[in-house]
Structure formats: C-alpha cells, structure tokens
Amino acid sequence: MSNLPLAERLRPKSLDEYIGQKHLVGKGAVLRRAIESGRIPSMILWGPPGVGKTTLANIISHLQGRAFFSLSAISSGVKDVRDTIDQAKRQQFFDQPNPILFIDEIHRFSKAQQDSLLGAVEQGVVTLIGATTENPSFEVISPLLSRCQVYVLKALEPEDLEDLLNRALTTDSDLKQLKINVEEKEAMFRYSGGDARKLLNIIDIVVGAQSGKPEITINNQIVEDILQENLSIYDKNGEMHYDIISAFIKSIRGSDPNGAVYWLARMLDGGEDVKFIARRLLISASEDIGLANPNALLLANACFDAVNKIGMPESRIILSECAIYLASSPKSNSGYMAINDALSTVGQTGNLSVPLHLRNAPTKLMEKMGYGANYKYAHDYVGNFVDQDFLPKELRGRVFYNPQANPQEDNIRARLKNWWNKRYGY
C-alpha cells in the first residue's frame, strides 16, 4: 500500500484527466486553447481551495515542457523571489520557452514581494501563475494584475464529484485491491463542499478507518461518524479555514456576540489574515444588518481601514468590537433581497427602454423627440416629493424593496407608504 495520500496519487497529469472547470479547460474553452497553442499569458487562478489551481499550473508546465518553479507566499520572502528569478534567468536559452513561476496564495504576498516580480513578468523572464482564494482586485497590486489574465475557478459540481469518486475507486491501485460498497454519497459530497482534495481526503479517512474489514461500507451515517472522530485529521491541511469563517458569519447573522467572539479568537489564534476577517465583516454589515442599522456598514468600513493601518496584535480589539456590534445589531437583508430580485428581473426582461421623461436632452433634436419632457423636479413640490414613474412601463408598480420589521425600517416603511401607497402599496 502506498504512503502517499489519495489526493496525491490521483493528481491529474493531463487536461483530459482534469476534473471540473469545463468553462476554462473543456474542449474549445479559452484557457485550453491558450495552453494547446503554447502561448499562455501570465495569469491569476482565483477560486476556492481544492478546485485544481496547483494541478492546473503543473499540467501547463508539463504539457509545454517548461521549467517549473514554485513558491508559497506564506513561507517565501523577497529574497526567495529574487533567487528564483535568478534561477529562471539561468534557464533561458534561445530555443526554450520561459519557465513558469507558480506562487501559491499570492494574495498573501506583500507589496514589496509583488513589486519584485514585476520586472521578470514584464521582460518575459518567467510566466507567472498565481493562485489565490481571495479577490485579486483587492490583494494583487495594479501593475502586476494588469499584466495577468484572471481566470475564475469554481467549486466542483455534484457530477464532478461523482466523476472523481468513480475515478478513485476504479483507477487507484490501492483502492482497487479493496472491496468497497458505496451505499450513499450525499454526506461525502456535502462535507467536501465542492473541494476535490477534501473529497479524496474523506475517502482516505473513511477507508482507513475500516481497514482490515473484508468489505468496506460507505454510507451517510458511517461518513458522519468517522469524520466526527477524526476531525483533527480531516483538517490536517487547514481546510477548516472556511468552516470557521462560516461559523463566524453565521454567529453574527444569528445575533450571538459570544459565538462571534469565540470564532474570531479561533481565527486569530490560527494566524488568519486580519484583512480577510475585516472584509467578511464588511460583507456581513451590508448583507445581514443592512438597513436595520446603516451605521453598521460605516463601523465595519472603519474597522477595515483601522486593521490595515495597525496590524496585530492591536487589531484583535478592533475586530472584536466590530464583531460584537454587528452581532448585537438588529438584522435585515432587505437590500440584499432587493438587488437580487432586481437583477433577476433584468435577466428575465432584458434592456427595457428608459421612459422619455427620465432621459436627459443635451441636444435640440433629443428635446424635440420628447427626451426629458414632463419630468417633474421633486424639489419644486411640497415635501420635495411628487408622484411619477421611475420604472419602465412594463414594470410599473413592481416592488423590489420590502422593508423588514425593525425600528429603522418601520420608519422607512411609514415614509414610503406616505409617498407611494397608491403606486407600490407600502
């Protein structure tokens, strides 16, 4: 039996073996065409963990016969970057394509580290492939980002997980020797969260826990029982990162400041990036507290600015105050629901015409065509309000924003009812 983890034994070596990301590497897809042509740009692979970012970088290097250098942003400094670039320069020959420099978790690189890459990328000394779980717009400096193509990788779909499970059971030399009866898959897929590495680790753990049995059974109950007993093993690669941030946000959404502070402490103790936490607080302030307490977004934004300026250990206090404030605030997702409903409507109805009275008339011709005609300027009326149409005629009376039951939005509802009762029924 091999000592290698199943995820390593099954790591794909070609695009045909690669599971998922069909929008990028499926037949005729944009990245596959670039890879097969041999003309690949420097790129940032952005997506959740376990979706194949590192594997894809290795496949690109292998298919094109390029030297491959790899750095981790967690353990590498500016000197490591410069030393690696020097090695890449020594690999340059007239008939050889430039080496690939793969940087895992590039979002953790400082500005100085990213600056040290610029010259090598610009001059074609290396083709950079950066992997990140964070939005590169926030974490990658603009000069470097402008020289890279960003490709978004997605969590694996259920059919992808099904393919991966079947491949593991039918092609892995160790698993093929065992009699494995898969009765149910739902728990395995649920715990994996669309993460290929997580799914393969689960299979490893569940099979290993039943070693020595003549037949290994996999069903939902067995998977849940074994994973609970082996939680520390299950998270040996730090995969609980996303589970803990989920527990943190759900504690805030559920108005439990004690749960929020506990999960915050777990993240800080584990060395989590304080900017990552602060960004999640910003999202929660708008998505979960919203118009029930508009000051929450202001406080979360101030928290984000402060932790960027101060850093640890003092940032723990700022993050704690913000988390407690958000958890203790009244909750509303009315803004979140309103924009989702509006976007869905736009997707279904297409580009409806802007009513003529809402259009500007910068030219005489537009004025003659009725642009801006009959528009009522609200400030000319009592209370700075006048009833008129602001939606396309096809959507007249359509309500997107529904105030929720909290003191702040009770006031908003009363105001809207006074203004719009005849049109929107508030």
pLDDT of residue 321: 95
Flag whether pLDDT at 135 surpasses 50: yes
Can you tell me the mean pLDDT for 358-375? 81
Flag whether pLDDT at 235 surpasses 80: no
Ranges 86-100, 115-129, 154-168, 395-409: which has the least confidence: 86-100
Q: How many CB atoms lie within 10 A of CB 77?
A: 15
Can you tell me the mean pLDDT for 371-378? 86
Separation of first and last alpha carbons in the chain: 68
Can you tell me the mean pLDDT for 340-368? 84
Can you tell me the mean pLDDT for 229-234? 54
Q: What is the rounded average pLDDT for all residues in the chain?
A: 87
Q: Phi/psi of residue 65, each to 5°?
A: 60, 35
Structure tokens at 397: 């009376």
Can you tell me the mean pLDDT for 218-234? 76
Can you tell me the mean pLDDT for 370-378? 85
Write the DSSP assignment of 35-54 as a string of letters: HHHT-PPPEEEE--TTSSHH
102 φψ region: left (φ > 0), alpha (ψ -120 to 50), beta (else): beta
CB 78 within 8 A of CB 184: no
Alpha-helix residue ranges (DSSP H) falling in 230-333: 231-234, 241-253, 257-269, 274-284, 295-310, 315-328
Provide, rounded to the nearest whole percent, the portion of the chain with pLDDT above 70: 96
Confidence of residue 236 (pLDDT cuts 50, 70, 90): very low
Flag whether pLDDT at 76 surpasses 80: no
Confidence of residue 230 (pLDDT cuts 50, 70, 90): low
Q: Which residue has the tokens 């006031």?
A: 411
Flag whether pLDDT at 374 surpasses 60: yes
Omega cis (within 30) before 97:
no
pLDDT of residue 72: 82
More confident call, 360 vs 307: 307
360 burial (CB, 10 Å; 0-12 / 13-18 / 19+) is exposed
pLDDT of residue 234: 47
Can you tell me the mean pLDDT for 319-337? 94
pLDDT of residue 79: 84
Confidence of residue 21 (pLDDT cuts 50, 70, 90): very high
Which whole-number Å values give the CA distances from 393 to 312, 343, 357, 368, 371, in the listed order?
54, 17, 12, 21, 16
Flag whether pLDDT at 333 surpasses 60: yes
Flag whether pLDDT at 14 surpasses 70: yes
Q: Phi/psi of residue 217, each to 5°?
A: -110, 135
**Of 145, 148, 140, 167, whose CA–CA distance to 156 is shortest?**
167
Confidence of residue 248 (pLDDT cuts 50, 70, 90): very high
pLDDT of residue 325: 95
Domains in the chain (CATH in brackets) are 21-152 (3.40.50.300), 158-234 (1.10.8.60), 241-328 (1.20.272.10), 352-424 (no CATH)
pLDDT of residue 425: 77
Confidence of residue 237 (pLDDT cuts 50, 70, 90): very low
pLDDT of residue 229: 67
pLDDT in tens, 147-206: 999 999 988 999 999 999 999 999 998 898 889 999 999 989 988 888 888 899 899 889
Flag whether pLDDT at 66 surpasses 70: yes
CB 195 within 8 A of CB 239: yes
Can you tell me the mean pLDDT for 272-295? 92
100: enclosing H helix or E strand: strand 100-104
Cβ contacts of 52 within 8 Å, gap of 6 or more: 12, 18, 19, 20, 21, 153, 196
